[in-house]
Structure 1
Amino acid sequence: MFDNPQGARSLWCDGGMPTHDEPVADTGTAVGRARSRASHSLDSVLAEAVALLDESGVAGLTIRALAARLGGGPASIYWYVSGRDELLDMAADSILARVFASVQDVGGGDPVDDLRTIAVALFDAIVDRPWLGAYALRDTGTQPHSLRLYEKIGEQTMLLELTPTQRFNATSAVVGFVIGVAADMGHELPEEVVSGEVSREKYLDRATEAWRSLDPGEFPFIHHIVEEFAHHSDRAQFCAGLDLLLAGIRMQARA
C-alpha cells in the first residue's frame, strides 16, 4: 500500500517522453497530436479502461487496445498517462472516487459503526472487480481518492481513546482486511465455471464433498465446519470477520 508516496509522473505533455510498455505512434506533427488529444477526454479514457478491465482483467488492458476502443492511436492515451502502470492506478482511483463520494458524509455517530460503514462500502467496490484489489490504495500520488479514503477511515479512529500508534495500526488493519478479503473473494472463477461447463453451485458442492471425504481424525476442524462452509455467504463471512476486528478496536479504546 502506498508504494510511491511522491507519485512522480512524467507526462508527455509536460515535455518529457515517457517510458512505456508500447511504442507511441508518431502522429508526425504537433497538429496531429493535438487532434489526438481532442478526440477524447481523461474521463472517457478512464471509463473505457475500467470497462476493459471489467471485461478482460488486467491482461486485457493495453494502451493499444484502449486506443483502438476509443477510436484513436496510442499517442492520444499518452497525453494523459505516462504508461500502463499509471493507467491502472488511475483507473482504480476512478472507482475509489465513487466509494469516497458514497461515504464522504459518514461520521458523527458511533466511530466504530462509522468505520464499519466505510469498510463495507470499500469491500463491495473491490469484490465486484477481481482486478481492483491489486491496485486499490497503491499510490497516493496518482490515486488521490485512495488517500482521502485512508484519511476518512483514520479520522474515525481519532474519535476513540487510542494512541497514535494504535490508531495507525487500527486503520492499517481495517484497510488491509478489507482489501485482502475482497480480493480473495473476488478472484476470478475457474475456467470451467466461467465457460459455463460447470455451474458455480455445482463447483462449490463438489468442493464441499471433497471436504466431507477427508479423514475426520486428521481434519477434525474441517469436519466440524463443513456444513457451515456448504451454506455460507461470502459477504456475511466478511462482515463477521470485520465485526471481530472492530470489536477488538473498541475493546482497545475502552482499555
Structure 2
Amino acid sequence: MVKKMQRRPRRDESLSREQIIAAAIELLDSGGESGLTFRNLSERLATGPGAIYGHVANKSDLLEAACSAVIGPGVDLQAKDMSPKAAIRAVALTMFDAMDAHPWIGSALAWAAGKSTMVSVLERVGQQVHALGVDPDKHWVTVSVLLNYILGVGGQNAANAQVARAREAERAEFLSTVADAWLQLDPDRYPFTRSIATQMSVHDDRADFLAGIDLILAGIESVV
C-alpha cells in the first residue's frame, strides 16, 4: 500500500503582513537571501502561497519590508535634539548594528537604492549633511562617501563574522593568530604591518567603525 504523504496542518487564523515579515526575517537570519523562498515561507507559516501574496507582491517586496522592519525604527529617529554629527553617528551605528545582527541587510540594501528604506537612510543622512553647511554642489559626493562607508564597512564586518561562525572560530583566537603571523613578517619589508600587529589583535570593530565616521566628518568640517 502506498503511504500518503503527511502534510503540515494549515493554520486556522488569518495571516497579517507583520507575521509574514517576522517569519521572513527568521528565514533570512538562518539561511540568508537564498533561504527566503515563498515555499519555505509557506511551510514556516503553515499556509499556502496565495495567503502570502495577498500581503506582499514578490520577494523583492518582502526583502524591502524586512529591511524596513529591522532598521526603519532606528533610522527614522527624531534628530531635532541632536547635532548633525551626532545624528549621522546614530544612523551609522544603527546600520552597523543591524547588519551585524542580520548580515543579509547589506546586500539587500545595495540592490534597493530606489526603495523606501534606502531612501529613508539617504534622506536622514542627507539632511544632516545639509545642516553641516556642505555646499549643495558637494551634497551628492559627501552623502555617497558616507553611505558607501556605512554599507561597505558594515557589510564587510557582518561577512567576517559569518565566516568566523562557519569556521567555529573564536574572534580573539583568530585575531591573535593573525597578529602572530604579522609579527613573523620580514621587518625590512613590512615594518608598518608589524608595528600595528598588537593593536589589530585587540581592536573593537564597532569602535573602529565609528572612528571612521568621525574621520569622514572631520574631513567634511575642514572643507565647509
Name the TM tier (shorter chain).
0.7 to 0.9
Counterpart code for 1:100: V
Q: How many residues align?
A: 214
Larger helix proportion of the pair: 2
Is 1:62 paired with 2:33? no
For residues 130 and 94 of structure 2, what CA distance do their matches in structure 1 show?
Answer: 20
Contact 2:85 2:217 in 1 (8 A): yes
Counterparts in 2 of 1:190 and 1:157: CA distance versus 1, 3 Å: closer
Structure 2 residue ranges without an equivalent (≥5): 1-9
| Pick aligned residue for 2:104 from 119, 122, 131 | 131
Counterparts in 2 of 1:167 and 1:108: CA distance versus 1, 3 Å: farther
Alignment of 1:165-184 (within 5 A): 165-184=137-156
Partner of 1:43: 18
Alignment of 1:10-89 (within 5 A): 39-89=14-64
| Pick aligned residue for 2:134 from 162, 179, 191 | 162
For residues 117 and 192 of structure 1, what CA distance do their matches in structure 2 show?
Answer: 27
Partner of 1:232: 203
TM-score (norm 1): 0.75
Contact 1:89 1:138 in 2 (8 A): no
Contact 1:111 1:159 in 2 (8 A): yes
How far 1:186 moved relative to its partner? 1.0
How far 1:155 moved relative to its partner? 0.9
Partner of 1:99: 74
TM-score (norm 2): 0.84
For residues 175 and 191 of structure 1, what CA distance do their matches in structure 2 show?
Answer: 24
Q: CA RMSD in A?
A: 2.4
Partner of 2:190: 219
Give the % identical residues: 30
